[in-house]
Structure 1
């Protein structure tokens, strides 16, 4: 009976999935020496050099205060640098940060392969899209 409550609860199921996929992601990204979140931030900056903190927060769907803390660590470790333009900080990859891009992309690909082997390629891709679209709907509703 209790199991049915949990199976029917989006909150419980989403958190369970989050814990499982986070464990997999941390294992796959371990060769970088970074958490998956740090790696995704580096990828975003690498793809869009000169990105603002606000735009970066929107892309990775994190609060600005969280992005501030994460970026400060990446700057401190020498992976990113920032330039101030008026009141806006713009972020750029350093050579040290750029050297990680190939391994980050490999880790991301390995993560995708790993869950696709378990779920199947189509189901994994469909679930990913469904979760992203559902998150967008919930986020839009919470903003209004």
Structure 2
């Protein structure tokens, strides 16, 4: 049975879950050469763009829970790619020299991922889909 003919093809929960799983697989394939999960890679790219970002801001940017971001940061610390510093109650996340070295490879993987799904869906449809997903996400409660 094809997905479009599935019993639940009109259910947003199943349709969005199916899309998320397929996109996740494409993303994992692009990022595995760096030994990073996509969520770790995107967090590191943000920290490279804005060193010293606070975990709460990272959580908002990535639309993840603070506890999830903390786990991602801990994993990146284990890999010696980021370091946290604290000034009183404020924690900041900085890339390490090893993390900075990955910058060009991270950008390359992000480009490859974008090109992969754009080749499948088409650039215009990809852009419309991303715009629609973001608009819908903003309407839904957190």
TM-score by length of 1: 0.92
- Which of 38, 41, 51 is the matching residue for 1:49? 51
Equivalence for 1:95: 97
Higher share of residues assigned helix: 1
Partner of residue 31 from structure 1, selected from 26, 30, 33: 33
Distance of 1:106 and 1:98 partners within structure 2: 14
Tell whether 2:21 aligns with 1:19: yes
Unaligned 5+ runs, structure 1: none
Q: Is 1:122 the counterpart of 2:119 in the alignment? A: no
Count of aligned residue pairs for this structure pair: 138
Partner of residue 74, structure 2: 72
Which residue of structure 2 lines up, in the alignment, with residue 109 of structure 1? Answer: 111
**Structure 1, residues 51-79: CA drift from partner, whole Å, max 9, x if none?**
00100110011100111111011112110
The C-alpha deviation readout for 1:92-139, integer Å capped at 9, x for no partner, is 00010011111111111111111111111100111011111111111x
Distance in 2, matches of 1:72 and 1:115, equals 30
CA distance in 1, matches of 2:101, 2:80: 12
- CA–CA distance in 2 between the matches of 1:95 and 1:8? 48
List alignment gaps of at least 5 residues for structure 2: none
Alpha-carbon distance between aligned partners in 1 of 2:83 and 2:24, rounded to the nearest angstrom: 27
